[in-house]
Amino acid sequence: MNIKEWIFTTDHKRVGILYLIGSIAAFVVAGIMAGLMRAELSAIGPTVTANPTTYNVWLYAHGAIMILGFQIPALTGFFANYCIPLMIGAKDVAFPRVNALSVWLFYVGVILALLTFVIPDPPDVLWTGYPPYSTITTGNTAFYTFTVLTLGFASIIGGVNFLTTVVYMRAPGITWNKLNIFVWCILGAFVMQLIFVPVLGSAVTLISFDKYLGTHFFDPANGGDVLTYQNLFWFYSHPAVYVIFLPYIGVVFEIVATFAKNHVFNYKAAVYGGVGGIVLISGEVWIHHLYVSGMPDWLRIGQMVSTLMISVPVGLLVISLVGTLYKGAISFETPMLYALGVVFLFLIGGLTGIPLAVTALTLNLSETYYVVGHFHYVMAVAGTFAIFGGVYYWFPKMTGKMYSEFWGKTGFWVTFVGVNAVFWVMMDIGVKIGLPRRYYDYAQFPEALQSQQIMSMGAAVIAVGAAITILNWIIGAIQGPKAGNNPWGSQSFEWTTVSPPPHGNWPSPPSAAESWNPYAYGKR
């Protein structure tokens, strides 16, 4: 193996695997941050650290790295890179060198995030970086800004690359209405990235302008406005939820169709109504993050309506998923367990989001543990389960080898128990006593102690499950048995080449037959 053909690679599959390695490393680091927070909260009073600012740094690192360093790069970096050219029968992406630039910018972003643990003044601004705190803190807000900027730029050039690739490089016979749902989801995600990431980039840039160059964008004393930042930030960061949601539900679609041996139910409604609907509505719901920050009532009600409206396209996608299971020949290999786990976790996360959209309720629930529990279910945990399931699903394609089913399933069940122990209890304590989130200590809420301890134990269980999963991949990649080219019997195009695919993917440019369809599993 030639090491420079890995580090400097322009091949979409290797770029994808570099993305995977980086994002899993980010996941581990951010997971350790969560573990430290859970350890700190396992008892009242100082436990791990006596310095609340240290706790804030963990909080920053956990959120920023999980979202920007793990989930978005794993979904739109790894899965998109690895799968899209294979799914559309292309030899590579449109701009392989831009792709290499994108993955190394991602690594630069991760390095900047990791500098948090080295520098004397780590950023302590959460992943949101709200002014005025972020412009007056002694923490290093510049590294927050540049972490976001490099990762954002990596994502933008990735988006340009993939949109061009899918538009121009599909093999003959792979028409728009025969694209994998996953490809549609990635298209939707990247259109949103292109529109919204630049706004986030501007917002965090203006923070550093304010802090280091003396401008007054968010300085009310001089005519600026802190709410402008909140608007710019959430204009991206709410759609970011869909940037994570669409690819992960796309991965789940591929897994469910393959293991249910069934065509996707209501394909066109899922694509045009579901994916298209989410992209359309995504840009006009962000103000619900400012319910508590203040706004006129008519705007609150409008935002409540449009936020609830998001349930319609999302519902179309869920109906398609469940309809695909209906009368399918279902088998429960590890990827399928994860996919069904996602459906379950997403239903809990989605339904518990409705009270947060309703203004009368959210004013009470806002800033409590309930919110944290909700978004971990709907985005963090469901997204991570989809990533784990997807890695398992394409594992034989990537490595040509098979992982251990036993450890795969064990890892799934352990993690599944752990996440429910943490996040169900989290929502429960948020509703029952309104325990405020983000606090370093909870001496005023001694009745929360037992719940906190259950959550801390749950976090340890998650750590065990995740460790089993990651070790299972590493061991499987090194010494797993040969898997064959298409172990799942999938109809999707990526399984028509050998495993692992060579440079160029196919010996000669492929084309799809008239009768081909990624979900052609026969009539039910």
Partner 1 sequence: MSHNSALSHAEHHEHGGHWDYSVPPFLISFGILFLVLAFAFHFVYHSGLAAAISLGVGVPLIIAGIVGWVREAMGHGEGLSYGAMGWFILAEAMIFVSFFVSYWFMHLRAAAWPPAGTPDMPRLLPMVMTAVLVISSITIHHGEALLHKGNKAGFMNWLMVTILLGATFLGMSGYEWSHLIHEGFTPATNIYGTVFFSITGFHGSHVFVGLCIFLAALLPGFKGNISEGYVRTAGLYWHFVDIIWFFVVSQVYYW
Distance between CA atoms of 455 and 39, rounded to whole angstroms? 10
By CB under 8 A, which span of 52-60, 69-77, 125-133, 149-157 interacts with partner 1?
149-157
Give min distance, CB of 152 to partner 1, in A: 9
User: Please, what is the Cα angle at 104 between 99 and 109, to 5 degrees?
Assistant: 125
- Residue 119 CB, shortest distance to partner 1, in Å, is 8
Contacts (Cβ under 8 Å, ≥6 apart) of 109:
68, 69, 146, 147, 148, 150, 151, 154
Which residues are within 8 A (CB) of 504 and not within 5 positions of it... i.e. 6 or more apart? 91, 92
Segment interacting with partner 1 (CB under 8 A) among 140-148, 390-398, 434-442, 471-479: 140-148
Work out how close the CB of 66 gets to partner 1 at its nearest, in angstroms, rounded to a whole number.
22
Q: Are 210 and 222 in contact (CB under 8 A)?
A: no
| Cβ proximity of 42 and 456 under 8 Å | yes
Helix (H, G, I), strand (E, B) or coil at 436: strand
Residue 409 C-beta: closest distance to partner 1, Å: 33
Q: Provide, rounded to whole angstroms, the least separation between the CB of residue 107 and partner 1.
A: 7
Using CB under 8 A as the binding rule, the residues of this chain from 13 to 32 that contact partner 1 are: 14
Instruction: Please list every residue from 226 through 255 that binds partner 1, using CB under 8 A.
Output: 228, 232, 235
Query: Binders of partner 1 among 71-130, rule CB under 8 A?
Result: 91-92, 94-98, 100-101, 104-105, 107-108, 111-112, 121
User: For residues 86 and 12, what is the distance between their CA atoms, to the nearest angstrom?
Assistant: 9
Which of 60-68, 166-174, 250-258, 306-314 is the region at the interface with partner 1 (rule: CB under 8 A)?
A: 166-174
Q: Which residue lies nearer to partner 1 by CB, 239 or 350?
A: 239
The phi, psi pair for 482, rounded to 5°, reads: -60, 140
- Of residues 476-505, those binding partner 1 (CB under 8 A): 498, 502-504
Q: Interaction with partner 1 in 180-219: which residues (CB under 8 A)?
A: 194-199, 201-203, 206, 209, 212-217
Candidates 9-17, 241-249, 351-359, 407-415; binding stretch for partner 1 (CB under 8 A): 9-17
DSSP string of 223-274, one letter each residue: T--HHHHHHHHHHHHHHHHHHHHHHHHHHHHHHHHHHHT-PPTTHHIIIIII
Minimum Å distance from CB 224 to partner 1? 6
Q: Which two tokens stand for residue 140?
A: 């290093």
Stretch that binds partner 1, among 129-137, 153-161, 253-261, 474-482 (CB under 8 A): 153-161
Tokens of 163: 């949109």
Q: How far is the CB of 430 from partner 1 (least distance, A)?
A: 33
